[in-house]
Structure formats: structure tokens, C-alpha cells
Amino acid sequence: MLKSYLTVNKSASAEIVEKKSRFIASIAPVVSEEEAIAFLELIRKRYKDAGHNVYAYKVGLLSEIIRCSDDGEPSGTAGKPVLDLIAGNDLRNIIIIVTRYFGGTLLGSGGLVRAYSGAAKEALQASGVIEKTLRREWVVTVGYELSKKFQNEFKKSNYILSDTVYGQDIAFCVLVKEAECNSFEAEMQNLGNGAVLVEAGEWVYV
């Protein structure tokens, strides 16, 4: 498993105009090809009167699924430049769609490449790039009398306190980096003088 990877922060869009042709780029983070296709269909419906809805997406932490389409534009002038932007920034789990409304003037191959990649770059900047890091979920259960001690520890540590469940005891859901997992359970036991239940959970990216 990758220790970390780069992706986009959120769904976003941007528009540029080249010789009266409008290029509207839509970008989104996705975790499966089904999500990518659903987003593509959403954009196609939104801009159903457009001449082209060019797209590129890269799904999977090892880039298992890579697709792009020129959607009727000359081969290599649309989908590939968008995919090259994704690859050049080492992004994963991402889709970019660039919608074109023809403005009446042909741009030529070079002009199309610049326009499609330029619109995609603007959308990428609008979304922002984030790094997701592999962490393991741990559940730390303690009595109420120890809760503040543990809360203070989590605040000053590199751990992420993702949730707190109040019941007969308090269960802290904590996300821990891979390198810190080996010592985490012992650290929690020492902090609670053994009066603590520490359970390891799933691996997630945050």
C-alpha cells in the first residue's frame, strides 16, 4: 500500500475562452470508476448542448484504471493533454472533464491542446491539491475519570482524533500513521496505567 498519495481537494470548475470558444473544466475526486462515470454523466447532462465533453480520469492507488477521450476532437488534441496534466502532477483518484462550446473559429491542433490543458489547469488550481496519508484506525476505550488526560494527549500528538463515542465508558477513535502504530498500543496502556482497552481497526487514507 502507498504511504501517501496526491489528489484533488474538492469538486471545482473553471472557464477560459479561446477565439470565442468556451472551455469549461470540471474536476472532482473519485475513488472508483463508477464514481468517475457518474460524474461524467452529470456533466454531460449539465452541458448537454455542448459540442464536446472531453475527459480524462485516473483511478486506483496504483493507477489501475486510466481513461481519456477526445470526444470527437482531433485525435490527441484533447483527452491526452488533460491526462498528461493529471500524470504530470502525480495525481490519483481524479477526473477532469473539459466541455467545449464552439465559437466559430478553428483553433488548430496546437490551439486545442493549449486550450484543453489550460482549462484543466485552471480547474486544478481552483480545487487545490492535497496529500492523503495512510493511517490505521484505533479505538481507545477508557473510563470517564481518564478522559481529559487522553484528550490532552491526543491534542498535543500527531494522532487524529476522528470521533468520540460516549457510553458506559468513553471510546476515542484515533487515526495513527503507519510508522507510529507499533508503539501506539503500549503508549496508550502506559498513559492509562493499564486501565484502557486498545483495539486496532482498518487502514484508511486521510
* Domain layout of the chain by residue ranges: 4-127, 133-205
Q: Pick out the chain residues at pLDDT < 50.
A: none
CATH class of segment(s) 4-127: alpha beta
pTM score: 0.86
* pLDDT for the residue numbered 63: 73
SS3 content of the chain, % helix, strand, coil (to 5): 35, 40, 25
* pLDDT for the residue numbered 64: 87
* pLDDT for the residue numbered 62: 86
* pLDDT for the residue numbered 1: 76
Dist. CA 142–CA 161, nearest whole Å: 14
Q: Taken in order 148, 149, 150, 152, is the CA torsion positive or negative?
A: positive
CATH class of segment(s) 133-205: alpha beta
Nearest to 170 by CA among 159, 154, 190, 186: 154
Nearest to 58 by CA among 89, 77, 37, 86: 86
